[in-house]
């Protein structure tokens, strides 16, 4: 067994600050469909998905059926989000950028000074920070570009303080798909009764709710809330979703599964953090509930809402790689491996399939590495190679390039190594390459 760990480091005073967390947001909206009119209902935004459930009393819903207007769209495929002051025709994204008719601007909340309003922090290297809001503002500040055709003074935009807006706002979500990989059929995606994804989704948002929606996007997805930039989307490894063929039908099972997800999630009447935090059969000894929130945000959508099942733990199953293989043979789900070294650094990997002894590399682009040292950071699959996970007789490898390993563990779960690899474009997870293992937990996700 490994030597007893040294005492834990003193708590970080910054981590003790109160933080307002926008875990998810549910709004009453109207959805502007593609060719079917405008339908009222509720939309739920979570860090993993956007879900729209139509109002069963809406005349359009009564005429057809709820499934004809239901939407599930994974947030990982939203490549651009913007709240506009006006609506412009659907399907013109990327073709009339900056030339919408009528000209429209993206809503942004005023940032008066530090400590007030919304504080945005660095989100480099796939990391992110929660956001903090101090007070609700009595008035809305917006930026207006002086683009009047009769004006030639060329002045830049100016901030104008106005009375609270009465007219609604218009949210547009632009969808993309990865260039180098197919979207899994198990991904919960649904639009208008079919397992498809539309190029755009438009929602009419009440003015009194726009600040909450804006805060949510700035908190979880500041990198996509911006003016549309097709070149930037291509640099992200995505391309725009084409118009689907709405004449094709999909399997009844896919529709029923999506409908069950909508029914389960949309019964929520108020913000309840526990909804986004599925049950754990056994409390974790390595991560707190707050740390689990960080990990939850990056789980594959296909396991959203599933219970966390403690599949393996060195504390109860011993320090043996082969014991882990035996445990993993019992499940068919992604596995979250959490490692604590003797310096109390916590890090690990999300592997898209259970670790197993194999001669070749397994796994998909759903896999990623993570660390809580010195702060939370996720290293997603880059697409540079497919060396994601290989279970050997004497070691376990996650990520590899040029003879180095993103994560390497020996068969006795005693020694470990973490190096920079192009598979995940990561840094050494515990802050150094070599480490001694103190404890390991592996979590599976079950219904």
| 350 pLDDT above the threshold of 90 | yes
pLDDT average, residue stretch 255-276: 46
At 2, the pLDDT band (50, 70, 90 cuts) reads low
- Distance of alpha carbon 110 from alpha carbon 349, whole angstroms: 38
Among 269, 338, 258, 251, smallest CA distance to 44 is for 269
Residues 22 and 216 sit within 8 Å (Cβ to Cβ):
yes
Higher pLDDT, 45 or 93: 45
246 Ramachandran zone, left/alpha/beta (phi>0; psi -120 to 50) = alpha
Condensed to tens digits (0 to 9), the pLDDT of residues 228-250 reads 888 888 888 888 888 877 665 44
At 328, the pLDDT band (50, 70, 90 cuts) reads very high
> Is the Cα dihedral 344, 444, 326, 420 positive or negative?
negative
What mean pLDDT value characterizes the chain?
A: 77
Q: Could you give the 3-state DSSP secondary structure of residue 295?
A: helix
Among 81, 78, 56, 57, smallest CA distance to 262 is for 56
Q: Long-range pairs for 396-404 at CB < 8 Å and ≥24 separation? A: 396/321, 396/324, 396/355, 398/337, 398/349, 398/351, 398/367, 398/369, 399/349, 399/369, 399/423, 399/424, 399/426, 400/361
Residues 401 and 352 sit within 8 Å (Cβ to Cβ):
no
* DSSP code for 262: H
- Helix (H), strand (E) at residue 158: strand 158-162
Condensed to tens digits (0 to 9), the pLDDT of residues 128-153 reads 333 333 333 334 334 444 434 343 34
> Is the Cα dihedral 407, 410, 416, 420 positive or negative?
negative
pLDDT average, residue stretch 78-89: 86
- Distance of alpha carbon 144 from alpha carbon 103, whole angstroms: 11
| 111 pLDDT above the threshold of 70 | no
| 202 pLDDT above the threshold of 80 | yes
Which range of 44-48, 180-184, 228-232, 356-360 scores highest in mean pLDDT? It is 356-360
Q: Which of 100-109, 315-324, 343-352, 370-379 has the lowest mean pLDDT?
A: 100-109
DSSP string over 109-157: ----STTSSB-----GGG------B----SSEEEEE----TT--S-PPP
Return all residues near 112 (Cβ < 8 A) that are at least 6 apart: none
Among 36, 229, 218, smallest CA distance to 133 is for 218
At 187, the pLDDT band (50, 70, 90 cuts) reads low
Report, in this order, helix, strand and coil percent for the chain, each rounded to 5: 20, 30, 55
pTM of the model: 0.48
| 340 pLDDT above the threshold of 60 | yes
Among 46, 426, 413, 427, smallest CA distance to 266 is for 46
pLDDT average, residue stretch 287-312: 86
């Amino acid at each position: 067994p490994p030597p007893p760990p040294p005492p834990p480091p003193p708590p970080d005073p910054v981590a003790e600050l109160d933080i307002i967390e926008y875990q998810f947001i549910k709004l009453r909206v109207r959805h502007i469909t593609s060719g079917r009119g405008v339908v009222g209902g509720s939309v739920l935004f979570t860090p993993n998905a956007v879900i729209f459930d139509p109002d069963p009393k809406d005349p359009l819903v009564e005429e057809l059926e709820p499934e004809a207007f239901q939407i599930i769209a994974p947030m990982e495929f939203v490549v651009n989000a913007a709240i506009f002051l006006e609506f412009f025709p659907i399907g013109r994204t990327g073709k009339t950028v900056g030339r919408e008719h009528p000209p429209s601007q993206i809503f942004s909340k005023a940032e008066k000074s530090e400590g007030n309003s919304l504080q945005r922090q660095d989100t480099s290297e796939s990391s992110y920070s929660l956001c903090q809001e101090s007070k609700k503002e009595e008035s809305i500040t917006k930026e207006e570009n002086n683009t009047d055709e009769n004006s030639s003074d060329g002045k830049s935009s100016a901030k104008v303080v106005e009375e609270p807006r009465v007219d609604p706002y218009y949210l547009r979500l632009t969808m993309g798909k990865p260039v180098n990989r197919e979207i899994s059929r198990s991904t919960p995606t649904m639009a208008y009764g079919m397992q498809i994804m539309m190029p755009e989704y438009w929602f009419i948002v009440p003015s009194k709710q726009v600040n909450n929606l804006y805060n949510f996007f700035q908190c979880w997805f500041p990198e996509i809330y911006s003016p549309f930039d097709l070149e930037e989307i291509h640099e992200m490894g995505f391309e725009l979703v084409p118009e689907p063929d709405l004449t094709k039908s999909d399997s009844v099972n896919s529709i029923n599964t999506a409908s069950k997800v909508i029914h389960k999630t949309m019964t929520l009447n108020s913000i309840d953090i526990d909804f986004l935090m599925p049950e754990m059969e056994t409390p974790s000894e390595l991560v707190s509930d707050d740390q689990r929130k960080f990990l939850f945000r990056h789980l594959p959508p296909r396991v959203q809402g599933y219970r966390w099942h403690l599949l393996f733990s060195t504390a109860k199953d011993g320090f043996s790689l082969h014991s882990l293989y035996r445990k993993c043979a019992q499940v068919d789900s992604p596995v979250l491996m959490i490692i604590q070294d003797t310096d109390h650094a916590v890090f690990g990997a999300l592997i898209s399939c259970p670790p197993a002894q194999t001669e070749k590399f397994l796994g998909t682009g759903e896999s990623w590495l993570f660390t809580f040292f010195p702060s939370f950071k996720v290293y997603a699959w880059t697409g540079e190679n497919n060396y994601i996970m290989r279970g050997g007789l004497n070691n376990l490898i996650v990520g590899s390039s040029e003879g180095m390993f993103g994560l390497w563990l020996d068969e006795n779960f005693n020694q470990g190594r973490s190096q920079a690899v192009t598979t995940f474009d990561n840094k050494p997870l515990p802050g150094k390459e070599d480490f001694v293992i103190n404890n390991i937990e592996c979590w599976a996700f079950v219904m």
